[in-house]
Structure 1
Amino acid sequence: MATAKQKITLNASRDIPFNKLILSQANVRRIKNGQSIEDLAASIARRGLLQSLNVRPVLDGEHNETGMFEVPAGGRRYRALELLVRQKRMAKTEAVPCVVSDANSAVPIEEDSLAENFQREDLHPLDLFRAFQTLHDQGATHEEIAARFFVSATFVQQRLRLAKVSPKLLDIYEQDGMKLDQLMAYTVTDDHARQEQVWDMLQNSWSKEPHQIRRMLTETSIRASDRRALFVGVDAYVAAGGIVLRDLFEADDGGWLQDPALLDRLVSEKLRTSADEIAAEGWKWIVVDVDLPYGHAQGLRSLTGTFVDLTDDERTSREALRNEYEEIESQYGEAEELPDAVDRRLGEIEEALERIENRPMIYDPAEIPRAGVFVSINRDGDLVVDRGYVRSEDEAPEPLDGDGAEPEGETDSDDNDAEPRPVHRTTITIGAQPSEPDEEDYGDAIKPLPVRLVIDLTAHRTLALRNAVAANPHVAMTALLHRLVLDTFAHRCSSGCVEASVRHVYLTAQDADLKDSPSAKAVADRQEAWKADIPFGNDDALWTWLDDLDEASRLALLAHCVSFGINALYERINPYGAGVSQQGLEQRLREADRLALATGLDMVDAGWQPTVANYLGRVTKARILEAVREGVGERAAQLIDHLKKGEMAKEAERLLADSGWLPEPLRFADDEQPVAQPGDADGETEALPEFLAG
């Protein structure tokens, strides 16, 4: 006959006065961890004791109960109650709910303490998010919830933001389908559809790191640190109805502006207002753009102006600031690190001195009506106004007679009957660089590169080639001798007394990032360095200066001058004979290849990398996949072949970074890569020179 199992008997609970309780030395918790005793005491004062103490009767030497009870489990609660008694917020005889264990139990008292702490299971983060959300829905503010649970308001905001992620993603997180840091990345937007779309794109991808999630969720937004956002101001953008996305879990530099169209409108309006104010000065034209293209002022005459005189107060202030700056430098000259207050003061002095030195320029009133102004925004979001440029067609006509006298009968008159002069209206152009029509997506076919794109790419190559030739006097000398020998023996006509010249080739209307390239900066720096040394205005003085230069300096200057005649641009062929011919273009590109080989030019080393702006966003999807396939491999191309064109271009930029891949116009002529003929955006193709045709 089977023996019935003995049923368990639970320990009885009872209320015991606090002064009858003592803390057991058998408590296994020795290290402080988690909520402080002060916070726990405040929680008990607000809510009462939510969990009873586990106690055992204290026995005397004869194993009789003494009326005292020791607390092996619940030591932190005991200390919190003890603190309330010391603070006179609770009577020492206050009854405390306790679960009383058998004093003669076979289970060691230490085991009671270990079991209570070891078998406790922490709350799942998702339950915490939802609990905070419930309290918030009931009307509690972030600060009130934070005060109740002794955490920061930011902690509460973060958890509430996590609770608002798409329910689909929360379920995936609950089932351990994603990590907490990945879930945090999805909080940068409240758009559940977009969150789920990004998850669907990344769930089977090898790259689904938090930074990748954030990038994809904000790819249609604009950083608050963008020059346009800094120019308008985030507050003005929000006041106009714009929405700012913020990341509560990582530094986001002010967040992302979600409405690019609104931001562009605000930028355009503010630039237009500034241009109208400048137009009141009487300029003939004003060109306005967020980022003016490289070479926008080339070929224009720059007016010479004078700074506005300093007032007596400004001179006094400048002298005082300089003295203070020198005094601080002498005091802390040998210090390894400046105190924060001193460092801030030095910065304030530098800014004040810069404001005094950057005074307005005064121009000849007779020149202003024929000159113009360029208006743009710098990287810090500040308005940049560059005044005083005259186009060749606006230059004053030469006087008819030798002494410049006015024709007889045409004199100024103050007569009231004289006909009033017409009112001058300034021409304001918003956007200095014409935009290109969007290229048609031809599907999987490898269609020709647009001629405009080929021109832009070869502009990068031309500038890099100039820099390479200028750094190689031997090649520059060879190129110049080549030109001179052709002029001498082939009887080609050229202008100038010596029958040799360098025609400065300007790169006009190119893409905006050309001027920020390493080659452009190197050429500009070299130009300014020579400009500071060369004596202009006196031909004899210039000859003497050149004659006295050492041989190395002469060669370096020769190379620099020759480099400005380098022209490796691809151009459209004019069928009516104007401009460059097909034969001339082929000859130009062949010579460009020869110079590139002679100087060892490598466009990768020159700093060119494929980006959405300079290549990938301007070609078809088939071209993008071809580039990734050549630069990274077939596997990488397969990873992005399902994406839309915009997303594919951005992913391709990331994959091709530092790969060394170059498009056909930037390769050498002997490259075996098969290439297509470049054509216009309307599909019309043109025959390419051997340099591009493979």
Structure 2
Amino acid sequence: MNVDRKTIAVTDAQIPFADLYLSDLNPRSIVNDEAIELLAANIRKLGLIQNPAGLRDADGKVAIVAGGRRYRALAMLQDEERFQTVTVRMAPDQATAEFWATSENAQREDLHPADEIRDFGMMNERGVKVADIAVAYGVTEKHVYRRLALSNLPAPVLDALKAGTVSLSHAAAFTVSNDEALTLEVLASHLERVAQGWGGLSEHMIKSRLKPNNVKGTDRRAVFVGLDDYKAAGGRVGADLFEDVTTFDDPAILDQVFAAKLTQTANDYPAAHGWKWAEATTEPYIGYDFAKSQTLGKLYAIEGELTEAEAERWDELAELADAEALDEEGTAEMDALQKKMDGDFTDLQRALSGVVLFVATNGTVSLESGFIRSEDMAAAVEAGFVEPSRHAEANATPKPAISETLGRDLDRISTGARQNAMLDDPKLALHLLAFQLCGKMGYDTAFSLRKDEAPNVPATETGYVLDKRLTVADADNRSPFDRDHAAEFAKFRKRGDAKIMDLLNRYLVSQLSIRNADLGAMIDKLTAKRTRDTFTPTAENFFGRVNGAYLNDLWSDLLGLAADHPTVTTFEKLKKGEKALRLECLFADPATRTALGLSEDQTCRINAWLPEGMA
């Protein structure tokens, strides 16, 4: 294609959405429904930032050649009048349209994970809610939470992630550290191995080096506690002569003294600073979900305003700072102006709320202010510090054991199991297709025949086995344009009836997505579907994704034991991760079943078990 972009006459036109349709030139023929929903939410809140591009056809309609995802998202927003007319960048001719269709997709570049982590972290520090970050970036809230979990890593770790010398899993391993100096030491060792071509440290090696049996004096807990208090509690010390570092050889004593000293610091804080209460956390920072996990509300400081003279002085100081010409006196002056702009909490705010103290990675006490307990929320609302909740009734509803995301994965597993079962009965598949095509199902369907995918792969494929005929497509790396369909079809027919019928069955069954429960049950019976042949629950794909109470009940029910039975009470004392692994072994490890001495009835119950809602 030969297009001189300097000569393209670009015009924008206001087109009714009803006159738009997706062009065959648009490269995004397969899309993720969840991603489109996220994009629609983004557009609804922020507006359409980039217009789609189109080409007017002979009937006066406009075919969208670039911006297929935006078009699909706009289709979901037609309940609002402002989206019923769309600004479209119009291509003057077919050649330009084809150029735009391929160029936009090729030039798209995703934000690097390291940049995402930093962006999300800065937005979170400014008080932007996770839900709003997700909308702004067109991602799920779960994705934002995962990135925020890495946002407190030292800058050199994120720099290495950006450079490609540290992976996301490596970065996650560094989050176990309480000692920034040790973190940077382990990072340096990893980077040295990478430079020498040894592949760097594994995630396990990183965690092992960050959690040694003794604690260096640079650890935040050691810095905060100090040698004198640690020794007074009976703690032993050692030394590394090569590194000139004192070691605290009794981590348990260090933790006890650390917790006691931090608690006392929190107890003394309210009277000295006017807050209603203060608490302490032993974590090295306040997590993004702290308020939610502790069912606390949040107040924010009343921002200050600079006078006209102060604003002018701020601009002068900012110019000096940008030129790296700001001296200590100027820095102090700028900090004072920044503190005024940041504002402060009023006496009434302090009287209704509290602070949470923590020891940062450098060993100093830090805090986050303005947390509201439930008993003070009504007074805070009345004072106008927070808006009344519109979701009180919804929040009172118990959280279901199976989340929406997990439920969606279980639905996909059920779909895959149904497809697996039908693969061996192509005649039934054809009969069902004919039943749908002849109109006997009304507006309902048995197959997704719009060229959309019928999702059958969960977020994690651990413990999930799908027939390869449903996962391996015919290789075809040719351009989607300028094909001779007649010649290709003639060549296709030479495969013979048997191969064509096999292909038809394979692709037809991959579109199987029955929504009617009665029809689904009938098809499952005819195909003798067994979901457990496709799906084995594991810690990764199920048990680790439900709460501990659910796991306790499941362990008791599967073994048919009373709640006070020692096997059940011992299980309940385990950590959630340990419970998930025990249940995984119960389902997949013969040695575990033998050790428990399971009866035939218990074994049958385990072999047949499926989460509620699956069949």
TM-score over 0.5 (shorter chain): no
Q: Normalising to structure 2: TM-score of the pair? A: 0.35
Q: Normalising to structure 1: TM-score of the pair? A: 0.31
Could you say which structure has the greater relative contact order, defined with CA pairs below 8 angstroms and 6 or more residues apart? 1
Which one has a larger percent helix, Structure 1 or Structure 2?
2
